[in-house]
């Protein structure tokens, strides 16, 4: 480790020891690069390290929610259930870190504060919160898309006499809600997982809901060993299907249009998907749900009818009914979410019509009343896609910060979601304008890590000093991303996909919707053409 005022020279610095950083470290080490990962936590895991809230689990099926770069690893690990809980996923990532001996390359409990590109040296100068400075040729971010917690700036939070938590920074020790009056703000994917679990323990749970959500039963169940054995036997096929699929998970093809079927046939399709549980209700029923308003309406109506069947109190059921286009906020899967509102110790407060005005010493005050609470859970989400990057002072050419370039200037622009012009030799794993959060993350992460590792190999083999996205390439890519998104219903809903959950954040859809398979092909094509759309420079002259 470098002591204060001593600059350690590295080939590559990677930020984050989650799915992204762990594999990036492994690949760069294999390529012989001196690499160091910086991680703020005291362990590996990324979001799975931090998200320890009650009920936290994955909602990609577990046999697909893992690395596929090593068949040996795939064979050595066996998941217990269809949607495993956070401790098991964290255990998996620890297993990976041990198997590939990664811990020695990670500096834990260290936050990168600044990263500046030095144009004279063609190197990144990186500073950490322990005062150390390192210099690296390549600077790679694996900071996650949903890691910068968003806590609304409610007046009076400091005055609250009880305990409060954000789900993304949950304590390591068990939080005791037994017999307590608990309030939870939010009804996104996180809250939908947490509410049924907290409700079982709390004396009373009050749910503060701004936007009701569509949620489909997860249909979680323990795996039988034969199913897991078959997955391992079909490893190569599964891996290929994941890589070529639209969302990073092998899916059965959806019917082309909800409107082509009769009402009766549609009901059958939806009922079947509902009974099977999981994200198939979104991805395997009809392929026009996110592009055609009328088709979307049929799915939305179906879920609303299920809410009204499930929730006994008609007034509560009505409050729980969403009206936005189904699927244009993150599709949610749950275990007993709507059922939980039948419990006597659970109440629902609509904070859309009567917003929260302040947190008081005793609880939460809305425009209609005050709710006394012993604990408040903020399930209020994240400053997604860009928040974690903006927490660092990242400066490219001419000292321009990433924030200036993306927020105050012409707004977020990237080339493939991997690079951004003016920041040479910087790579983002699942950056804005890549499929990222609208895909099964480990698949997209692996694809980026492999692309970046191959790119660095190419640069070294060809005597290239720097690689930088061309301005026109990122303009074209951003335009393409916008066009694909605007042809869907996604941009018609206020969601974190659009940055709408963070006051003042520019509204832009920052995820590439063209599908994991086609996106991979596009990235590979660009690499095969000698990194088309990038400027490659040798120490003093342009290579291309």
Q: Report the alpha-carbon distance of residue 94 to residue 527 in Å, rounded.
A: 32
Quick one: 81 or 122, whose CB is closer to ligand NAP? Answer: 81
DSSP 288-324: TTTT-HHHHHHHHHHHHHHHHHH-SSHHHHHHT---S
Return d(Cα 449, Cα 458) in angstroms, integer. Answer: 14
Least distance between ligand NAP and beta carbon 541 (Å)? 45
Q: Select the residue whose beta carbon is closest to ligand NAP and give its number.
A: 188
Q: Cβ closer to ligand NAP: 13 or 145?
A: 145
Beta strand 112-118 pairing with 123-128:
antiparallel
Rule CB under 6 A: say whether 437 interacts with ligand NAP: yes
Q: How far is CA 209 from CA 192, 355, 413, 498, in A?
A: 11, 9, 33, 20
Neighbouring residues of 32: CB distance < 8 A, sequence distance ≥ 6: none
Between 188 and 396, name the residue whose CB sits nearer to ligand NAP: 188
**Residue 209, CB half-sphere, CA atoms under 13 Å: how many?**
26
Q: Is 469 or 498 the residue whose CB approaches ligand NAP more closely? A: 498
* Shorter beta-carbon distance to ligand NAP: residue 212 or 424: 212
- Rounded CA separation 231/75 (Å): 9
CA angle 319, 322, 327 (to 5 degrees): 160
Q: Which residues from 66-95 bind ligand NAP, rule CB under 6 A?
A: none
Check binding of 330 to ligand NAP (CB under 6 A): yes
Per rule CB under 6 A, is residue 351 in the interface with ligand NAP?
yes
Contacts with 260 (C-beta within 8 Å, 6 or more apart), sequence order: none
Contact region for ligand NAP (CB under 6 A) — 179-187, 221-229, 408-416, 485-493? 179-187
- Torsions phi, psi of 365, nearest 5? -115, 125
Strands 466-469 and 332-334: unpaired
Q: Is 187 in the site for ligand NAP (CB under 6 A)?
A: yes
Among 14, 185, 388, 429, binds ligand NAP (CB under 6 A): 185
Q: Does 496 participate in binding ligand NAP (rule CB under 6 A)? A: yes
Residues 252-271 within binding reach of ligand NAP (CB under 6 A): none
Whole-angstrom Cα distance, residue 247 to residue 234? 19
Check if the beta carbon of residue 397 is closer than 8 Å to that of residue 503.
Answer: no
Does 319 contact ligand NAP by CB under 6 A? no
Cβ distance to ligand NAP smaller for residue 330 or 413? 330
The greatest distance separating any two alpha carbons of the chain, rounded to the nearest whole angstrom, comes to 73
By beta-carbon proximity to ligand NAP, the closer residue of 205 and 351 is 351
**Contacting residue, 20, 62, 107, 190, with ligand NAP by CB under 6 A:** 190
Number of helical H runs and strand E runs in the chain:
17, 20
Q: Candidates 203-211, 339-347, 483-491, 507-515 — which segment interacts with ligand NAP by CB under 6 A? A: 203-211
217 binds ligand NAP (CB under 6 A): no
* Residue 513 found at the interface with ligand NAP (CB under 6 A): no
The answer to the question of residue 433 lying near ligand NAP (CB under 6 A) is no
Footprint (CB under 6 A) of ligand NAP, residues 366-385: 379-382
Residue 212 or 515: the one with the smaller Cβ distance to ligand NAP is 212
Nearer to ligand NAP, 205 or 464 (CB): 205
17 binds ligand NAP (CB under 6 A): no
- Which tokens in the block code for residue 467? 């690689």
Instruction: Pick from 210, 266, 306, 405 the residue near ligand NAP by CB under 6 A.
Output: 210
| Concatenated DSSP letters of 15-26 | E--SHHHHHHHH
Site residues (vs ligand NAP, CB under 6 A): 57-59, 146, 152, 185-191, 193, 208, 210-211, 330, 351, 356, 379-382, 437, 496, 501
């Amino acid at each position: 480790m470098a002591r204060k005022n001593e600059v350690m020279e590295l080939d590559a610095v990677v930020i984050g020891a989650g799915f992204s950083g762990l594999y990036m470290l492994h690949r760069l080490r294999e390529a012989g690069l001196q690499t160091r990962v910086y991680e703020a936590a005291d362990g590996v895991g990324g979001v799975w390290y931090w998200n320890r809230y009650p009920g936290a689990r994955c909602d990609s099926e577990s046999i697909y929610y893992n690395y596929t770069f090593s068949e040996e690893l795939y064979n050595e690990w066996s998941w217990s259930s269809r949607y495993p809980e956070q401790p098991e996923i964290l255990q998996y990532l620890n297993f990976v870190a041990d198997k590939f001996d990664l811990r020695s390359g990670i500096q834990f409990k260290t936050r990168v504060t600044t990263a500046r590109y030095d144009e004279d040296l063609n190197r990144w100068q990186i500073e950490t919160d322990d005062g150390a400075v390192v210099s690296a040729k390549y600077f790679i971010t694996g900071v996650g898309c949903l890691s910068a917690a968003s806590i609304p700036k409610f007046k009076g939070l400091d005055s609250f006499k009880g305990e409060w938590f954000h789900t993304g920074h949950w304590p390591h020790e068990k939080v005791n809600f037994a017999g307590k009056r608990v309030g939870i703000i939010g009804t996104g994917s996180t809250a939908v997982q947490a509410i049924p679990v907290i409700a079982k323990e709390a004396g009373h749970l009050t749910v503060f809901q701004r936007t009701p959500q569509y949620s489909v039963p997860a249909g979680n169940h323990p795996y039988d060993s034969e199913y897991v054995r078959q997955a391992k036997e079909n490893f190569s096929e599964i891996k290929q299907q994941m890589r070529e699929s639209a969302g990073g998970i092998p899916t059965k093809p959806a019917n082309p249009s909800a409107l082509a079927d009769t009402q009766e046939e549609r009901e059958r399709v939806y009922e079947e998907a509902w009974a099977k549980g999981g994200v198939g209700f979104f991805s395997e029923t009809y392929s026009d749900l996110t592009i055609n308003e009328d088709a979307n309406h049929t799915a939305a109506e179906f879920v609303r009818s299920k809410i009204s069947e499930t929730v006994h109190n008609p007034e509560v059921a009505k409050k729980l009914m969403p009206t936005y286009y189904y699927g244009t906020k993150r599709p949610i899967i749950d275990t007993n979410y709507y059922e939980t509102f039948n419990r006597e110790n659970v109440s629902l407060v609509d904070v859309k019509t009567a917003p929260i005005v302040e947190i008081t010493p005793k609880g939460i005050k809305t425009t209609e009343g005050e709710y006394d609470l012993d604990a408040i859970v903020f399930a209020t989400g994240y400053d997604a896609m860009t928040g974690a990057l903006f927490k660092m002072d990242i400066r490219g050419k001419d000292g321009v910060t990433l924030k200036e370039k993306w927020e105050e200037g012409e707004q977020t622009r990237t080339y493939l979601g991997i690079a951004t012009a003016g920041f040479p030799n910087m790579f983002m794993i699942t950056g804005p304008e890549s499929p990222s959060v609208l895909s099964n993350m480990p698949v997209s992460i692996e694809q980026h890590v492999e692309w970046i590792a191959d790119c660095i190999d190419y640069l070294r083999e060809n005597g290239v000093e720097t690689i930088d996205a061309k301005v026109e390439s990122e303009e074209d890519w951003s335009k393409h991303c916008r066009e694909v998104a605007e042809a869907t219903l996604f941009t018609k809903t206020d969601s974190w996909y659009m940055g709408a959950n963070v006051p003042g954040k520019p509204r832009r859809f920052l995820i590439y919707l063209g599908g994991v398979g086609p996106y991979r092909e596009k990235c590979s094509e660009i690499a095969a053409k000698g990194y088309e759309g990038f400027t490659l420079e040798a120490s003093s002259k342009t290579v291309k």
